[in-house]
Structure 1
Amino acid sequence: MNPVALRPKERSSLRIKLGKTYYISRRYLKWMLNRNKFAKTRQRVLLPYSAFGHQTPLLRKLQGVDMSYQYNKIKNLKLAIERLNGVIIQPGETFSYWKLIGNPTKKKGYVDGMVLHYGRFTKGTGGGLCQLSNLIYWMTLHTPLTVTERHRHSFDVFPDSNRTQPFGSGATCAYNYLDLQIENGTGVPYQLHVRLTDTHLVGEWRCAEPQLYSYHIYEKDHSITPAYWGGYIRHNELWRKAYNRQHKLVEEEFITENNAIMMYEPLLEQQSIK
């Protein structure tokens, strides 16, 4: 962990705009140069076997956040799901979150939702789509698919109240330079199935053959340390255990390291996980 690199940096709005333009343009170039490797086929008929499924609540009461943005988020999720549901990743292909969804603009029906920007909440067109990328990332960790690009927020915004997954197990997104990309290095097609109920975002990876392994995701080396500029930094590592069909451990592997600036007092976090 490098505390100097984590320290918040003040950037002008012009610098931020120019930086986004540069990274968006660079991503378009990469897409053009590698257009044949990305998954794009979708089918309504589901593959026969469930690899892993998960669901997350659509609405949460968050202190200081207007609930209207969460209701708008549901509208945005519906539009994004229309572009993702049923997509097949053939062996050798790569799933790209933003290449499939496209630019979430008002012209396409997207509305203002909640966006985290430099540790603060603001509104933005298409806001709330991180819930979908978080879900897909978490599900992917329970499959043999390979995450080749993933980003997480530099800020830890909320205490662990009712948390069911380890800290740092999500994947943030911003069109199109913060993408979630998943490669199918297996010999079996995988299919993404996502939908909304009245209360939850529901997802599932399905596959053409039964999975050989099941997976358990857990954290190591969790710590909260004071930052030299004030405040605190939260750290952990995500690891994964793979079990065969006889439920015997066959592999334990490192997934990723997470470091984030805490936007609340550590005492709140400790109270929430008792």
Structure 2
Amino acid sequence: MKNVKPIKRTQLRITLGKLYYTYRRYIDWYFSGKKYSKKRSKNLLPIIVFEHKTPLYRKLKNVDMWMQYNKVNNLKIAVSKLNGVIIKPGEIFSYWKLIGKPTRRKGYLDGMVLFYGGFKAGVGGGLCQLSNLIYWMTLHTPLTVIERYRHSYDVFPDSNRTQPFGSGATCVYNYRDLQIFNDTDVEYQLHVYLTDEYLVGQWRSVEKPIYKYRVYEKKHWITHEYWGGYVRHNIIHREKLDINGNLIDDEYITENHAIMMYQPFLEGNFAK
């Protein structure tokens, strides 16, 4: 089990780290020789492989609603960069390469940005909702996630959660990216849009899938650490089913370890 504890870094260390990882990413994008997806089409591929939606507005403790409204503005801009993108066989979908850097000049507003166990206002805040959606949908397709980052802190208690804890993908331009590789022999297309209440996404293709997937939390526990805080852990698996619902495989997907920023509700042997 991974040992997790808060890390305090100086502002100089944070700044230098961001510069290093940012330019390392640029080098990878433009000089690595990898094939990144860039083609977009208004014509949607005919088959919906998987679809999901998440609410645009959530009431979170101590978070002003103006951050939620600004988040929706930011999502609209980012969605306009991703909607219709096609991942050809052998190509890589890069979340940030397609969206670009969120700036005020592009119309992005201040939204909520998680920061070392808390939150603050930041330009382009709220785009993690989009990366979370894409990651969750991808786990229900044959596409392969080759880069994904988890949250180091569990900031808000569960509220009407419908997905396992830690089933999202945090994003920070540009070094915390979400990258997806198409190692199938067919094209996949991302269709994302907003309604009045939801962020909606689809992975589409030209062929009906021969497998279905069920993503679930195999294990979940909370530990009281030596430094005084609590850490939340879980392990996520995925069942691979044929078209008749027969189990083909039970795959390990990821594990999460996050420092809890609220007092946990402990019951029975929940904490170890």
User: After superposition, what is the alpha-carbon deviation per residue over 1:135-173, rounded to whole angstroms, capped at 9, x for unaligned?
Assistant: 000000000000000001100112222000001100000
Moved more, 28-37 or 120-129: 28-37
User: After superposition, what is the alpha-carbon deviation per residue over 1:109-151, rounded to whole angstroms, capped at 9, x for unaligned?
Assistant: 1110000000111010000000000000000000000000000
* Higher fraction of helix: 1
CA RMSD of aligned residues (A): 1.3
When normalised by structure 2's length, the TM-score is 0.96
In 2: Cα distance, 1:10 partner to 1:234 partner: 20
In structure 2, runs of 5+ residues without a counterpart are none
Contact 2:82 2:99 in 1 (8 A): yes
Contact 1:159 1:269 in 2 (8 A): no
Contact 2:141 2:213 in 1 (8 A): yes
Secondary structure, aligned partner of 1:143? coil
2:84 corresponds to which of 77, 83, 86:
86
1:59 corresponds to which of 54, 57, 60:
57
In 2: Cα distance, 1:196 partner to 1:95 partner: 21
- Match of residue 20 from structure 2: 22
- Match of residue 197 from structure 2: 199
Contact 2:2 2:257 in 1 (8 A): no
> What does 1:196-235 correspond to in 2, within 5 Å?
196-235=194-233
> What does 1:104-253 correspond to in 2, within 5 Å?
104-253=102-251
- Match of residue 47 from structure 2: 49
- Match of residue 2 from structure 2: 2
Q: Does 1:31 align with 2:29?
A: yes
Deviation at residue 34 of structure 1 after TM alignment: 3.0
Matched positions, count: 268
Runs of 4+ in 1 over 2 A off after TM superposition: none
In 2: Cα distance, 1:269 partner to 1:32 partner: 51
In 2: Cα distance, 1:269 partner to 1:258 partner: 20
Q: Which amino acid aligns with 2:121?
A: K
Deviation at residue 227 of structure 1 after TM alignment: 1.0
Secondary structure, aligned partner of 1:240? strand
Query: Share of identical aligned residues, percent?
Result: 64
When normalised by structure 1's length, the TM-score is 0.96
Contact 1:160 1:269 in 2 (8 A): no
Contact 1:40 1:88 in 2 (8 A): yes
